[in-house]
């Protein structure tokens, strides 16, 4: 009888251990899912710091677009859109070129005044590179915070998205515009968000709620529910 009871106790302990291991495994999987889903710690900002507030809103807008259509696969997650860094790379190249000419002008081992032609060329090249860089920011990017490649899913749409934002100083209206990346003056979906809806009086930011609303706006654009033009 004692042997039978001991055997039952051993089997019970073994079963409990299996259940515990399964529970720990599920918790680990849930933790991995939380990391993969990009859940973040609560963010706080001084509401009067409009530059920081816009930066936080811009980052959350980009995050909402890049995590749209999350689909779990074997090695992680796939999403609908990938960011297009073309103009960022062009700007970086121009900055490298400008810095290279500045370094040549400063450190090239040629005494003055023999180096005068070289200095003139370097100064002119630096000025041209800086002017082109400023032109890209002013006339091409303007208020654009991101461009995307075409949607990753099998769709007829071959053009990515352009996301533009505006946040006038001393106001609480943050406007997001979703439009096609390459089509000028094309259809768009514009939405203005009152930031007091997403920030508490202490400056705590409801990032998940804001990103959910931006996601709905992008989905509205994908469904071709564009804003009416006058």
Residue 133 shares a structural domain with residue 118: yes
Q: Residue 99 falls within a domain, yes or no? A: yes
* Residue 99 confidence (pLDDT): 94
pLDDT higher than 70, residue 94: yes
pLDDT of residue 111: 81
Q: Are residues 113 and 201 in the same domain?
A: no
Q: Output the CA torsion sign for 19, 21, 25, 30.
A: positive
Strand, coil or helix: 71: strand
Q: Specify the pLDDT at position 41.
A: 74
> Are 54 and 96 members of one domain?
no
Per-residue pLDDT of 154-166, as tens digits, reads 566 678 899 999 9
Q: Are 153 and 57 members of one domain? A: yes
The predicted structure's pLDDT at residue 169: 87
| pLDDT at position 34 | 43
Q: What is the mean pLDDT of residues 168-183?
A: 90
Do 197 and 99 sit in the same domain of this protein?
no
State whether 161 and 101 are in the same domain.
no
How far apart CA 12 and CA 6 sit, in angstroms, is 10
Is the dihedral angle over the CA atoms 167, 170, 172, 173 positive or is it negative? negative
Number of structural domains (the chain) is 2
Label residue 150 exposed, middle or buried (CB < 10 Å: 0-12, 13-18, 19+): middle
Assess whether pLDDT exceeds 70 at residue 224. yes
What is the pLDDT at residue 179? 93
Contact between 147 and 83 under an 8 Å Cβ cutoff? The reply is yes
Look at residue 110 in the predicted model and tell me its pLDDT. Answer: 81
Calculate the average pLDDT of the chain. 81
Res. 116 pLDDT band, cuts 50 70 90: confident
Q: Take residue 176 and report the two structure tokens written for it.
A: 């997001």
> Which pLDDT score is estimated for 114?
81
In a domain, 172, yes or no: yes
Are residue 126 and residue 200 in the same domain, yes or no?
no
Asked if pLDDT for residue 123 goes beyond 90, the answer is yes
In a domain, 75, yes or no: yes
To the nearest whole percent, how much of the chain has pLDDT over 70?
76
Structural domain includes residue 209: yes
Please check whether residues 77 and 157 belong to one and the same domain.
yes
- Which range marks the domain in which residue 107 is found? 86-141
**What integer pLDDT is reported at residue 19 of this predicted model?**
42
Q: Tell me, what's the pLDDT at 9?
A: 53
Strand partners, 174: 193
Q: How does pLDDT run across 42-55, given as a tens digit for each residue?
A: 788 888 889 999 99
Structure confidence by residue, pLDDT tens digits, 3-14: 445 454 555 554
Instruction: Tell me, yes or no, whether 79 and 177 share the same domain.
Output: yes
The answer to whether residue 24 is domain-embedded is: no
Predicted local confidence at residue 56, as pLDDT: 94
Q: Which two tokens stand for residue 72?
A: 């779990």
* pLDDT confidence bin for 36, thresholds 50/70/90: very low
Say what the pLDDT of residue 229 is. 55
How far is the C-alpha of 78 from the C-alpha of 62, rounded, in Å?
16
Q: Which of 136, 153, 156 is nearest to 86 (CA)?
A: 136
Residue 7 belongs to a domain: no
Whether the pLDDT of residue 65 is over 50: the answer is yes
The model's pTM is 0.72
């Amino acid at each position: 009888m004692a042997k039978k009871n001991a055997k039952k106790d051993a089997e019970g302990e073994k079963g409990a251990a299996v259940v515990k291991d399964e529970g720990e495994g599920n918790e680990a999987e849930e933790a991995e899912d939380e990391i993969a889903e990009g859940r973040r710690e609560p963010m706080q900002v001084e509401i009067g710091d409009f530059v920081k507030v816009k930066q936080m809103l811009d980052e959350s807008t980009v995050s909402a677009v890049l995590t749209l259509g999350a689909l779990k696969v074997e090695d992680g997650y796939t999403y609908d859109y990938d960011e297009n860094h073309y103009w960022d790379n062009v700007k970086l190249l121009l900055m490298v070129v400008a810095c290279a000419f500045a370094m040549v002008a400063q450190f090239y081992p040629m005494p003055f005044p023999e180096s005068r032609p070289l200095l003139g060329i370097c100064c002119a090249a630096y000025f041209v590179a800086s002017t082109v860089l400023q032109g890209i920011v002013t006339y091409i990017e303007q208020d654009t915070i991101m461009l995307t490649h075409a949607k990753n899913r099998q769709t007829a749409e071959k053009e990515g998205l352009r996301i533009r934002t505006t946040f006038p100083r001393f106001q609480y209206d943050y406007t997001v515009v979703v439009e096609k990346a390459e089509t000028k003056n094309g259809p768009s979906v514009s939405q203005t968000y009152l930031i007091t809806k997403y920030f508490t009086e202490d400056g705590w930011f409801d990032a998940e709620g804001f990103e959910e609303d931006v996601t709905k706006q992008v989905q509205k654009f994908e469904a071709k529910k564009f804003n009416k033009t006058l």
